[in-house]
Amino acid sequence: MSVEAPSPPARAPLSGLTTYFSVLFTPRAAFARLSQYPTWGWAALIGMILVMATLLLTMPAQVHMSAAMQQQRIAEMSADQRAAAQSAIQSMAGFTKVFIYIAGLIGPWIAWLITALLFLIPAAIGGEVKFGRAWVAALNSFAVWGLAGLINAIIVSMRDPSTVNTPADISALPSLGLLVHNNPKLFAFLFSYNVLYIWYYAVAAIALEQMLKVRRPVAIGFIVVYSLFWALVAVATAR
C-alpha cells in the first residue's frame, strides 16, 4: 500500500504582502517563509510606492536644492561660461521634475539588481548561488530601506524648501553626520550609518542566512563590506 506524501499548505492570496511587512518586525521568520515560497511581486509594488511617495514629499526641496547647486556652479564660472550655462539651465528648467521622477522609476530596479548580484558573492563563498533567491532577498529587504527613505522624506517635507541647498540638507535622519554638516563627503559617509540604515543591514544579513543559506560569520562579514560599498558610493557622489 502506497502512502502519498502530504502536499505543502496552500498560500493565502495576500501571503506575499503580509510577509513583506513582517520583514520589518520578524525578519528571520519572514525570510524563512520566503525561502519556502519565494515571492517578490508585492515587494516590487510596495517598494515603488515607497520610492514615489518619498519623491513626492521631497520634490519642492529637491527642486530648490538643484537650483541652488546650479547657481553655485555658475558663480564659479567665467562670464562667457556663465551666460552659456544660464541659457542651458533656462531651456532645461521644465525637465527637472521629469528627470527626478524618471530616476525614481528606474533607479530602484537598478539598485535591486546590483544588490541581488552582490548578494551572490557571500553565497559563492559558502551558501547556495541562486540568483532568483538573491533577487527575492534584495526586494524584500528593501522594505526597511524604503521605510527609512519615507521617514526621511516626511522630516524634510516639514522644513522650508528654501533652506535645502545641499544633499546634506535633504538627509534628515539622525546620524553622526550632523556633527560634520559642513564636510559633504564625511557627512555622506556617516549618514550611511544612521540607525535605520543599520537596521536594514541587519535585516540583509538575516536574508542572506535564510534565503541563500550563507553561514552567519560570512553573512556578517559580507554585510560590513556591503555597507562600506554603499557608503563609498555616497561619498563619491557627495558635493
Instruction: For residue range 123-147, list pLDDT tens digits in order.
Output: 999 899 999 999 999 999 999 999 9
Return all residues near 208 (Cβ < 8 A) that are at least 6 apart. Answer: 119, 122, 123, 127, 137, 214, 219, 222, 223
Is 16 within the bounds of a domain?
Answer: no
| Residue 169, amino acid | D
Q: Which residue segment(s) compose the domain that 60 sits in?
A: 26-237
Angstrom CA distances, 202 to 45, 57, 155, 226, stand at: 23, 27, 24, 11
Is 222 within the bounds of a domain?
Answer: yes
The predicted model scores a pTM of 0.83
Is 167 within the bounds of a domain?
Answer: yes
Rounded Cα distance, 17 and 13, in Å: 9
Is 160 within the bounds of a domain?
Answer: yes
In the block, which residue shows the cell 546590483? 114
Is 17 within the bounds of a domain?
Answer: no
Asked which of 11-25, 91-105, 114-128, 169-183 is least confident by mean pLDDT, the reply is 91-105
What is the count of structural domains for the chain? 1
Give the pLDDT confidence of 10-56 residue by residue, as tens digits. Answer: 555 557 789 999 999 999 999 999 999 999 999 999 999 999 999 99
Helices 41-75 and 15-22, axial angle in degrees (round to 10): 50
Is 6 within the bounds of a domain?
Answer: no
Is 52 within the bounds of a domain?
Answer: yes
